[in-house]
Amino acid sequence: MSAAEKMSRRDEMETLLPFYLNGSLEGSDLEAVEEWLASDPSALAALGEAEAEFSGTSAANEAIRPPADALSRFAKALDAEAGPAAGKPAGSSWLAQAWGRFMAVPVGVAWAAAAVLLALIVVQTLVQPGGKGKDFEIAGAEDDLAKMPFALVKFKPDAKMSDISGFLGSNGLKVIGGPTTDGVFRLGIPAADAAGYTRQLGLIAAQPFTETVIEGRKPADGG
Amino acid sequence: MTAAAETDRALVDRVAKGDRAAVRLLFMRHHARVYRFVARQTGSEMMADDIANEVFLELWRQAPGFEGRSEVSTWLLGIARFKALSLLRKKKEDWIDDEAAAAVPDGADTPEVVTMKEDKAAALRRFVDALPEEHRTVIDLAYYHGQSVSEIGEVLGIPVATVKTRMFYARKKLGEALKAAGYDRGWP
């Protein structure tokens, strides 16, 4: 292979490296890059440089922080586009609002979600905010909710209240918000680091009564 | 196809049937990346905010016509790209972006002097930011958004060969900038 051909081949491999790193390369391109990495002593250094570019680009993007209220503003825009959703809370007190939310949970969405909310109403009526219910802890006013890692969870319509509450209680999970009219809860995740957070999310996702888990705020080291 | 992509498509199917919860879930899943993509395209977080919102309203409107020939994330980025370019064209005559203006170096330091003050990672990040838009976009789409060559072609509306050419020159420019700053990486 001539020097010119070798350089041309290197140019081609350097062009494909970003796609090798992001896992989207396949077929003959993937084979060519792997063969190059295995046979050319300079290839691993090139891979290291591409990894540095990967990190730099990720950091540049992650530095851009979307506004925290984006979802609520989008929900309003969606309501304006599609018409208001039915069953919004009408009362002003927390109990009236909670009851409104309970009544707004659509039939067939999640009786379990409604049941958990009912438990919230009952427990919060009987104990001080921040106190412990029988089966699981209700996040109270003194919790620093603004900093607490959380995930958004929706339970299956046929889930049993006892299963959910037992699981929450035994794993130190807290209901800190919800349900929305769509039955989505915000669960506080008692994890000190990103790895613990990911484990907890995996645990929640693995439960038979869980329909959907969406990653929310991670602990501070979660990038 | 990944499991996450299947779930995205299932959510789009629900959106097509008028399920607002599904569009909110897709919003939560993809909004940050769409927002960042537009912010990097336009240099304006205010425009990114407006356009990202519009992208998900467009998802609501277009979901019944989504045929699933591409990943949902690719589809959303394509919508975002189109909307960003449309808005930029409209505002090209009179729009002056304060954020972009503030980001222009003041010339007090030469690139070499600036680079000496920072480590290689920070220098690289700065060089990525300084790439021409068409080069930076392919870098962003590959490294940050995880898009394949063909997906980038779809988002940008350009042939696969052009994606590769842009990637080649983008990486070449990064290499030259690093070399000029004293970080020799052996290519180009």
Distance of CA B125 to the CA centre of its chain: 15
Q: How far are the Cα atoms of A133, A165, A175, B53, B69 from residue A127, in angstroms, in the given order?
A: 8, 17, 15, 41, 53
How far B54 CA sits from the closest chain A CA (Å)?
Answer: 9
**Could you tell me the residue range of the domain that residue A11 belongs to?**
3-62
* Contact status of B118 with chain A (Cβ, < 8 Å): no
The label of the residue with tokens 């035994």 reads A170
Contact flag A78-B20 (C-beta cutoff 8 Å): yes
Same domain, A48 and A112: no
Residue A78 maps to a domain: no
Residue A10 maps to a domain: yes
Same domain, A127 and A189: yes
Same domain, A117 and A195: yes
* Contact status of B125 with chain A (Cβ, < 8 Å): yes
ipTM: 0.80
- Closest residue by Cα to residue B80 from B46, B44, B39, B43: B39
Mean pLDDT of A121-139: 43
Over its length of 188 residues, how does chain B's per-residue pLDDT go in tens digits? 445 544 899 999 999 999 999 999 999 999 999 999 999 999 999 999 999 999 999 999 999 999 888 999 999 999 999 999 998 888 765 444 444 444 444 444 555 555 454 678 888 888 999 999 999 999 999 999 999 999 999 999 999 999 999 999 999 999 999 888 888 776 66
User: Is A154 strand, coil or helix?
Assistant: strand
Task: Provide the residue ranges of all domains of chain B, joining segments of one domain with +.
Answer: 1-96, 105-181
Residue A81 maps to a domain: no
Distance of CA B141 to the CA centre of its chain: 5
* Contact status of B113 with chain A (Cβ, < 8 Å): no
Same domain, A115 and A189: yes
CB B121, CB A56: distance < 8 Å: yes
Which of A6, A14, A15, A44 would best serve as a mutation to test chain B binding (most B beta carbons within 10 A)?
Answer: A15
CATH class (in words) of the domain with range B1-96: mainly alpha
Same domain, A114 and A56: no
Mean pLDDT of A27-51: 93
Report, at the CATH architecture level, how domain B105-181 is classified. Answer: Orthogonal Bundle (1.10)
Other CB atoms within 10 A of residue A110 CB:
25
- Domain total of chain A: 2
How far apart, in whole angstroms, are the C-alpha atoms of residue A222 and residue B19? 31
Same domain, A97 and A193: yes
* Contact status of B77 with chain A (Cβ, < 8 Å): no
Same domain, A58 and A96: no
Question: Which of B24, B32, B144 is facing A58, going by the closest CB pair?
Answer: B144
Same domain, A58 and A105: no
- Give the pLDDT of residue A133: 40
Res. A123 pLDDT band, cuts 50 70 90:
very low
